[in-house]
Amino acid sequence: MTFNVTGILETPTGIGTITVSDVLWFVVIIAVGVAIAKIVSINVRRALAERLPKNERELIAKVIYYIIVIWAVIVALPYLNINLSGLLVAGGIAGLVIGFASQSVVSNLVSGLFLMFEHPIKIGDTISVAGVSGSVEDIRILSTIVKTYDGIYTRIPNEKVFTSNITNYVHNAARRFEYGISIRYE
């Protein structure tokens, strides 16, 4: 009795023209993709351990993990004779819908990145922006937290911070003050 590996691998599975070999390649590609995604996400967590807070670090690691896994699935799908053109059309339509739905989020995200690179305000600065005056407590990706003089924490979307006039009272140490002094004519 002989053992024929090629015969087993070329055996049809009963689903179209998919063979056992195709299914094995699909599983191997997915497994390698998941392993690479785990390794990359662990390294991202380590690299950002002291640079970002835990919740932001975990979010970035999860997004990277799922992007790699989805990429592995897309690479593996042709082995199961699945035509990706329909998936591309559906993805394009979904991308348009998501794009229109998340305009303000993307605008706040881009504005937050510009605020972080340009540094018009820093944590601890006393500012007046968009009708809110107070001390900057935190600058996040999507919003800026300002503690008003009344002790109320106000979240201002970064798009509003970036597009409106910012009055920073402590940015420059030398300031000009005007005093009105009245003198009697006697």
Per the structure block, which two tokens stand in for 170? 């402590």
The letter for the amino acid at 133 is S
Per the structure block, which two tokens stand in for 15? 């689903």
Cα Rg of the chain (Å, integer)? 28
| Other Cβ atoms closer than 10 A to 16 | 10
Q: How does the average pLDDT of the chain come out, rounded? A: 85
Length, in residues, of the chain? 186
103-118 vs 85-101: helix axis angle to the nearest 10? 70
pLDDT above 90 for 38: yes
Question: CA 155, CA 80: separation in Å to the nearest integer?
Answer: 49
The residue ranges of every structural domain in the chain are 5-87, 110-168
20-47 vs 54-76: helix axis angle to the nearest 10? 160
Q: What is the pLDDT of residues 58-100, one digit of tens each?
A: 888 899 999 999 999 988 888 888 777 877 788 889 989 988 8
pLDDT in the model for residue 151: 92
CATH architecture assignment, domain 110-168: Roll (2.30)
Q: What are phi and psi of 49, to 5 degrees?
A: -60, -40
Q: What is the pLDDT of residues 120-178, one digit of tens each?
A: 888 899 999 988 999 999 988 889 999 999 999 999 999 998 889 988 888 777 767 78
